[in-house]
Amino acid sequence: MLKTGFAKRPITPQKSMTLAGFDRRSQPAQGMLDELYVTVLALQNGEEAPFLLCSFDLLGTDRTLCEKVRQALPLPPERVWVCATHTHGAPRGAFSGGISQDHAYIDSLVANCKAAAFAAMDDLLSAQALWGEATAEGVASLRDVPRTQAAYAMPLLSLRLKRENDTLHWLQFQCHPTVLDESNLCYSRDLPGGIAGENTIFTNGACADLSTRFTRMESSAKERERLGLLIKSAWNEMEYQEDIGFGERIRPIARELVLPYGNGVRGDQRLGLLEELRQKTADCTDKAALRELDACIAVLERGDRVLPQTRTVTVAACDLGSRLLLALPFEVAQADGAQLEREAAALCEKPAYLICYCGGYDGYLPHAQTGVNYQDLATGYLPEARKQIWQGVLDCAASAVK
């Protein structure tokens, strides 16, 4: 019998910290638009240990933070998934390995997640599962193409867990939550804050090339509410079907991959590319194209990066009976995410859904060949890592359903 539990705890800093997500933003936060949370959904079948999905309103949860959370809980590590909504309105100091790390804040994140996890496990009650899928128009757009080609119908995935006295919700959207741009200096959940929703855990999907770049009219709290309402309207109109098989088994599996690393433009090549991009900026009149060019320039202006030759990441899958979840610690392009879900679904003969920013935060999934765009300049992974990552996820999926 499926049991589910839910809890959340605020994680908004009690002090001013520099916000993450934009290279050009260096000022500390000057207020709070809405509270940041860590939200935990617990799923349990029979007497098995619960499976926890822990979602932070952060840019990302790096490997060290994920490990600290797992170590704080009395569960097998593969039964604790830690992910982020990828809001750019959260502190930069959450990254354990970063130069701006804040140890006290990181400790508070772990403590609040632990408290929410125990509260969710104490809240476990029998539940009926219903699934719904829909699309939200006018929210997400392809950000790496001209405006005339950028329209995108954003998939929404919703799980409704009906209990005796309440209903729990899981909503996965698929968009960079960047209605608020680099001028924002307030802590904010961004898009999830505009959607709201009681007893709801939010996760993000494959959205490396999706944002509100061509759909937002301005970067403001009011605009966030407008776009959030579009998502909420599609969510409210969603048709649900009962899923009797959901949760009849809960079988997660994780794999560590040692990947080829060290990608980066250096030396004279970097300087030459910088000059070329600055010239394009001088000749460009399109605001959206200027943002992309400036993002590329900002990466190159970080200087020559000295990177290790390998990097270890964790990929995962979880068989939930009638459905399969996949987890990647990367930013994944929407077409790649859809293809990976199709291949996993065909392999396991059940619907598959990809949660990104999950199990770590390791930047962009590399393309087959690197190019001059923000994703490929920002990733540290060599193109050959792509095949290894892809196969690792499919191997997890196959092992989880055996």
For the stretch 106-145, pLDDT in tens is: 999 999 999 999 999 999 999 999 999 999 999 999 988 8
Q: Which of 286, 143, 149, 135 is nearest to 212 (CA)?
A: 143
Higher pLDDT, 54 or 265: 54
Q: What is the pLDDT of residue 289?
A: 76
Q: What is the pLDDT of residue 380?
A: 79
Number of continuous H segments (helices) and E segments (strands) in the chain:
9, 18
Q: What is the pLDDT of residue 371?
A: 61
Q: What is the pLDDT of residue 282?
A: 82
Provide the residue type at 243 as one letter: D
**Res 299 pLDDT > 80:** no
Q: Model confidence over 36-82: pLDDT tens digits?
A: 999 999 999 988 899 999 999 999 999 999 999 999 999 999 999 99
The residue-averaged pLDDT of 75-102 equals 89
Q: Model confidence over 306-342: pLDDT tens digits?
A: 778 888 999 999 999 999 999 999 999 999 999 999 9
The residue-averaged pLDDT of 371-399 equals 86
Mean pLDDT, the chain, rounded, equals 92
pLDDT class for 269, splitting at 50, 70, 90? confident
Q: Model confidence over 337-382: pLDDT tens digits?
A: 999 999 999 999 999 999 999 999 998 888 765 666 777 777 778 8
Q: What is the pLDDT of residue 148?
A: 87
Pairing outcome for strands 210-211 and 200-204: unpaired
Q: What is the pLDDT of residue 98?
A: 64
Q: Where are the domains of the chain?
A: 2-250+314-367, 265-300
Alpha helices, H only, 162-286: 191-195, 221-236, 267-283
Cα dihedral: 314, 319, 322, 327 (round 10): -10
64, containing H or E segment: helix 63-71
Q: What is the pTM of this model?
A: 0.93
